[in-house]
Structure 1
Amino acid sequence: MWQQISNSFGFQALWSPWFIVLTIALAVLYLWATGKGRHRFAEAERVPVYKKILFLLGLFFFYLGFGGPLYLVGHIMFSIHMIQMVASLLLVPPLLILGSPKWLLKAVVLKIPFKRVLKFFVHPIPAILLFNVMFSFYHIPVIFDYLMVNKTGHDVYQVFLFIAAFIMWWTVIAPVPEWNRLSELQRVGLIFLDGMLLTPACALIIFAENPVYETFTNPVAWATALSLCLPGTQTVPPELIEQFMPLNLLEDQRLGGVLMKVVQEVVYGSFLGYVFFQWVRRERQEDELEQEKMELAPEYK
């Protein structure tokens, strides 16, 4: 199938050269800011190699989800579309946040316009609701089918959905401890709540008795949506739909829902472990500090 896709659409449509340039530029800027340029930032410290790897991995998934082949093929098959959503919403934001040092995050956030609006949405409940409502609305059939054939609407919604995902992950990860409003127990509850709110959208897709998206069942709508991903004024003949559907439409839809739910559980489970590890480490540090105080106390009597 890949050979057929590459022969049909070409390098520019599949690989988005301008997005490659953008991703490389962001990587170079990050490496400069965390390397030779870090003296320009307040409280800057040396950045561990593992953080740089996480950030660059986040940029890789950023390219894969928004500019690479996944983006185009996601307009051909619904299951691939859900993999693209996983990459761009469940992997990119946490990897970029975890890969950014605290001093760099402070410098970037303090320069963001509309900080008061952002400050409201960084509260736990608004952050969780914003992302999950936007994600669920996106997968309502009538909204999904409209956005897939309306490039401007689709691009705008994708941008705001990505921002919502970033805000949600910021709340869960709490990368700047002094800005954190939640205890570790509250963050654990937040992750569970997030997983519960994402379930209805996945259940709608998995347990539907028939394909629900006209984008993948109507050849004309399918061809229109795919044409919007191609450079220039290229069009796709509707009859090509039969050549690019290796799975039954209902099977493809259910596979997409299962992939989203399974990967979401794996990612959220990983962050439950991350938060628990932070919790244990903080408790240990507090115990050690208390022990030191007790040991030094007699000297001051």
Structure 2
Amino acid sequence: MFGLTQYFSLYDLWSPLLLLSAVLVIILYLGLTGIYRNQFIGSAPVPLKRKIMFIIGILLLYLAQGGPIYMMSHMMFTFHMILMSITYIIVPPLLLLGIPGWLWRFLLERAWLKKLLPLTHPILCAVMFNAFFSIYHVPDVHDFLMTNYAAHISYYVLLFVTALLMWWPVVNPVQAWTQIADVKKMGYIFLNGVLITPACALIIFASDPLYATYSDKDAWIEAMGYCITGDPAVVLASFDGPQFFNWFNVVEDQQLGGIIMKLVQEIVYGLILAYVFKQWFTREGKDDDDFVASTPKERLNEV
């Protein structure tokens, strides 16, 4: 990808351990929703489209966090935002929709997971994810996390958990746990679009480089040290920093990254809005049909 193999090994670019983990998760999922499905109370066949959603979600998560996109995200801010878009905007709803309701019920019967249910309040979910996302892109915070591996991984996990919680009120597959009606879901999606806008606007309209990781050679080499095997100073010292791989200057790259994040968010939120509207319209149509088909006495009782 982009000639990276001449500078980095296939191991660095494709993270075999993460690939193996992704494959094992898919095998486990297919087993639980297939031959071992009858071990769960109230289980039902999982439609093929839901299985495909889950598999695509896991593969996209691997490509973002374990493939060349992860490497490129340390060289171009544009790819950093592509990684963020895939990991936190696209993947969570695919995984949530791919896991059937009966499996969610089994998982959330675990005592330690039940403790997370209060965190699924819609307003709290929206504020948590968008706040953590915005804090991450404060320049000093971003540069610190990019050059401190343990903090970097911990924050990515935290962002992913809050992203799942943010999407839960919208694509929760367990009808009994639905907290907001379809019309309110549309407002909730709009709220999330508003909350993420300031962080994107800060990046898009900044006239100077915000992040040392993408403009300072020493900071970049330190961050890249967590992505490659061997001594990064030896491998990368001959480059002129991340600009060696960049097609744009630092500010243009920064602005493009912010635009991509906002565009992906708008597209995905728009698709989810259409999904929610279709569910609401179908449900309303069914209720009307049931009312018309009922007897006058049954209608009187409903009123």
TM-score over 0.5 for the alignment? yes
Residue 163 of structure 1: CA displacement? 0.2
2:110 alignment partner AA = K
1:216 maps to: 214
1:105 maps to: 104
Residue 290 of structure 1: CA displacement? 2.1
1:225 maps to: 223
1:258 maps to: 259
Q: What are structure 1's unaligned runs of at least 5 residues?
A: none
2:230 & 2:96 partners in 1: Cα distance?
35
Moved more, 131-140 or 221-230: 221-230
Residue 67 of structure 1: CA displacement? 1.1
1:115 maps to: 114
Q: Deviations over 1:83-110 (max 9, x none)?
A: 0001100111100111111111211222
Contact 2:85–2:264 under 8 Å retained in 1: yes
What secondary structure is seen at the aligned counterpart in 1 of 2:173? coil
1:174 & 1:66 partners in 2: Cα distance?
25
The CA RMSD measured in Å over matched residues stands at: 1.6
Please show how residues 1-301 of structure 1 align to structure 2 within 5 Å.
2-3=2-3, 5-111=4-110, 113-116=112-115, 118-231=116-229, 234-235=232-233, 236-240=235-239, 241=241, 242-294=243-295, 297=298
Contact 1:219–1:239 under 8 Å retained in 2: no
Residue 295 of structure 1: CA displacement? 6.8
Contact 2:222–2:232 under 8 Å retained in 1: no
Contact 2:97–2:172 under 8 Å retained in 1: no
TM-score by length of 1: 0.94
2:158 alignment partner AA = F
What secondary structure is seen at the aligned counterpart in 1 of 2:112? coil
Contact 1:222–1:238 under 8 Å retained in 2: no
2:123 & 2:29 partners in 1: Cα distance?
31
1:217 & 1:270 partners in 2: Cα distance?
36
1:297 & 1:216 partners in 2: Cα distance?
68
Pick closer, same or farther for the CA change 1:215–1:112 going to 2, 3 Å: farther
Pick closer, same or farther for the CA change 1:11–1:296 going to 2, 3 Å: farther
TM-score by length of 2: 0.94
1:141 & 1:124 partners in 2: Cα distance?
28
Residue 14 of structure 1: CA displacement? 0.3
1:32 & 1:286 partners in 2: Cα distance?
37
1:238 & 1:172 partners in 2: Cα distance?
47
What secondary structure is seen at the aligned counterpart in 1 of 2:176? helix
What secondary structure is seen at the aligned counterpart in 2 of 1:229? coil
What secondary structure is seen at the aligned counterpart in 1 of 2:248? coil
Residue 238 of structure 1: CA displacement? 4.1
Pick closer, same or farther for the CA change 1:238–1:137 going to 2, 3 Å: farther
2:71 & 2:46 partners in 1: Cα distance?
35
Q: What are structure 2's unaligned runs of at least 5 residues?
A: none
Residue 112 of structure 1: CA displacement? 6.3
